[in-house]
Structure 1
Amino acid sequence: MLEQQLINALSLGSVYALFALGFTLVFGVLGVINLSHGAIFMLGSYVALLLVNKFAMSLWMAMLLAMLVTGLVGLIVDFLVLRPLRKRNAPHLIPMIATIGVAIMITNIAQGVFGAENKRFPFGTIPEDSFTVGNLHLTAVQLAIVLISFALMIVLLAVMRRTQLGRALRAIAESPKAAYLLGINVEGLFFLTSFAAAALGGAAGVLVGLSFNAISPFMGQPMLHKGIAVIILGGMGDIRGAMIGGLFLGFAEVLSVAYLSSDFRDAVAFGLLFLILLVRPSGMFGKVLERKA
């Protein structure tokens, strides 16, 4: 039934959009494609799982702490890896290569600590309640995923568009040197951006772990590919584009599985993305040679 598939697609697409938001935020402000974002996403799921298993913590409190932990990891990556490269005016490819190394390191550590097999949240942790409206069936997890994802996206968009902090971040996105001359704490906002982006990635990791109830050290790599596709589709560095691009990818995947075959899931989704980019090479909201916050 089409309506039910649209609900499923909204749930999946909102997680893709949330993941891509952190990705595009770092690119928009720092001008860096942070390829460790997928590993940080994976780390968020494991932190929540550990807190639930070892400390009997409620799922939502575990999610908040997972966001805090992944945010701190993003901050450490910025301080130890990206900041020294910024000071040396390293070419754009160097941070990408460096963050690939960070991603491999985090993935290997997770594999060594938790093992390579899939992990699941304990029975009873994930709410099994569901709602039925007419012919539509909506689980509590799906509703929570959509509400949390959209709430975080709306908060980020409001901060970027309506606050002094958002204006400062947009100024840095246009020109860090000019922003510094205006008295903006550029380095401090770089750190804040890395923290916020990693926290959003961690939240997406927890939501994906809840949605599929399967967590592995390798779950970050496929999500990273989709995140890159989403920010290119939406327009590099554009928050609106990340939101709409994530939803588009989720809808394309779910509908292709429902009406074609799961074997064609990625082929259909990325094929449609390719066709859109043929028409708009800069993405839906991107502009050639222009960076946005």
Structure 2
Amino acid sequence: MIVAAVDAQNLVDALGLGSIYALMAVGIGLVFGVLRLINFAYGQLIMAGAFTLAYASRANWSTWESIVACFAVVIGLSLVMDLAVFRPLRTQSPATMLVATFAVSFLLQSIALLTVLKVQGQLGMPASTVARLSQAVTIWGVDVRKVTIVSIVAALVALGALALLLGKTTVGLQMRAAATDFTTARLLGISANRVIGFAVLLSGLIAAVVAVLLTARTPYVQSDFALHDMIYVLVGVVVGGIDRLWTATLGGFAIGFASGVIYGALPTDKTAYLPSVLFALVIVVLLVRPAGLFAPRGTSTVERV
């Protein structure tokens, strides 16, 4: 039934969502690669960027002014998180750092909820400043929203730039070495602060891009904005293979594309079953390939969180 309901429009929309989730997976994977830490506050960084766009819309800022402000806020918060949380706790156990990211996540979510209630008197704010990205263009008889095109292009450009960065630059090679064996990399003279700071900076930059794209798709921002997307991406990262950036990215894209196809194919009154279908598929995949769907055969599962 689901396969029969899939059409070109559904596939295009799913491709756009998969591209956004792939970007989120890259942002999560960059920090995980050097710290072996899943940053559960990543979704709240995206939320902060979305609220920045909403406040900019309320202040009648132009689209480009709003986007610049979004990037400034998200990147700034990322660096503050690294300096205030990651760096002081770097010598502690991974579980301690994991709990710290949970605390930061709920803190940012609570601040957003209290702020928007004080300003708006309601649970959310509209963000019309990027509304033009929601406009559709017709390509070969299919209505394609501009945000879908931008999402696909942004994902391809980001992945291409990241490949060049990791393979052709000194800091990229240092990041790859740190991801492989952080302790040995430090003994060989690689600066931990520089590598981690650069990974956090890139992760924040990607979060800002995702904030713009998700806000264009859903221009009503609430304190739980991007929360469900974050959960889906984390699931996709695990399914793809969490210990490698490229497999994690493929996993993020796969879970986004699958959720887009299933959501578009399900009848309106059955869309509440989407998480159940997705997580059932995830369980099956992990039972068959515990190391990840895209991980090379024989790869062991990662030992640290």
- Normalising by structure 1, we get a TM-score of 0.90
Shift of 1:290: 5.4
Give structure 1 stretches of 5+ with no counterpart.
none
Letter of the 2:104 counterpart: V
Task: From the superposition, tell whether residues 276 and 110 of structure 1 become closer, same or farther in structure 2 (CA, over 3 Å).
Answer: same
Deviations 1:168-215 (A, max 9, x none): 001111222322232222211111111221221232122111112221
Shift of 1:289: 4.8
Equivalent-residue separation in structure 2 for 1:55 and 1:155 (angstroms): 33
Equivalent-residue separation in structure 2 for 1:162 and 1:221 (angstroms): 35
Shift of 1:162: 3.0
- Bigger shift: 92-101 or 44-53? 44-53
Equivalent-residue separation in structure 1 for 2:24 and 2:276 (angstroms): 21
Secondary structure of the residue aligned to 1:8 is helix
- Normalising by structure 2, we get a TM-score of 0.87
Are residue 80 (structure 1) and residue 84 (structure 2) matched?
A: yes
Specify the alignment match of 2:300 in structure 1. Answer: 288
Would the aligned equivalents of 1:67 and 1:200 in 2 still touch at CA under 8 Å? no
Would the aligned equivalents of 2:31 and 2:200 in 1 still touch at CA under 8 Å? yes
Deviations 1:59-82 (A, max 9, x none): 4x5334423321221111111111
Equivalent-residue separation in structure 2 for 1:290 and 1:143 (angstroms): 35
Specify the alignment match of 1:264 in structure 2. Answer: 273
> Which one of the candidate residues 89, 107, 110 is aligned to 1:108?
110
> Which one of the candidate residues 28, 31, 35 is aligned to 2:36?
31
Task: From the superposition, tell whether residues 212 and 186 of structure 1 become closer, same or farther in structure 2 (CA, over 3 Å).
Answer: same
Calculate the aligned-residue CA RMSD, in Å.
2.2
Equivalent-residue separation in structure 2 for 1:31 and 1:257 (angstroms): 32
Equivalent-residue separation in structure 2 for 1:127 and 1:174 (angstroms): 39
Specify the alignment match of 1:219 in structure 2. Answer: 225
Specify the alignment match of 2:13 in structure 1. Answer: 8
Are residue 230 (structure 1) and residue 232 (structure 2) matched?
A: no
- Bigger shift: 153-162 or 117-126? 117-126
Secondary structure of the residue aligned to 2:138 is strand
Specify the alignment match of 1:275 in structure 2. Answer: 284
Equivalent-residue separation in structure 2 for 1:68 and 1:243 (angstroms): 25
Are residue 40 (structure 1) and residue 45 (structure 2) matched?
A: yes
Equivalent-residue separation in structure 1 for 2:66 and 2:46 (angstroms): 15
Task: From the superposition, tell whether residues 128 and 248 of structure 1 become closer, same or farther in structure 2 (CA, over 3 Å).
Answer: closer
Are residue 96 (structure 1) and residue 98 (structure 2) matched?
A: yes
Secondary structure of the residue aligned to 1:282 is coil
Letter of the 1:232 counterpart: V
User: Residues 75-224 of structure 1: matches in 2 within 5 Å?
Assistant: 75-86=79-90, 89-115=91-117, 117-122=123-128, 125-127=131-133, 129-224=135-230
Specify the alignment match of 2:3 in structure 1. Answer: none
Equivalent-residue separation in structure 1 for 2:94 and 2:279 (angstroms): 26
Would the aligned equivalents of 1:238 and 1:285 in 2 still touch at CA under 8 Å? no
Deviations 1:2-60 (A, max 9, x none): 1111100011111111112111111111111111111111111112222343251224x
- Bigger shift: 134-143 or 71-80? 134-143
Would the aligned equivalents of 2:130 and 2:216 in 1 still touch at CA under 8 Å? no
Task: From the superposition, tell whether residues 257 and 289 of structure 1 become closer, same or farther in structure 2 (CA, over 3 Å).
Answer: closer
Shift of 1:282: 0.8
Equivalent-residue separation in structure 1 for 2:114 and 2:132 (angstroms): 26
- Bigger shift: 21-30 or 246-255? 246-255
Shift of 1:123: 7.3
- Bigger shift: 144-153 or 164-173? 144-153
Aligned residues: 289
Equivalent-residue separation in structure 2 for 1:202 and 1:118 (angstroms): 19
Are residue 66 (structure 1) and residue 78 (structure 2) matched?
A: no
- Bigger shift: 165-174 or 270-279? 270-279
Would the aligned equivalents of 2:128 and 2:219 in 1 still touch at CA under 8 Å? no
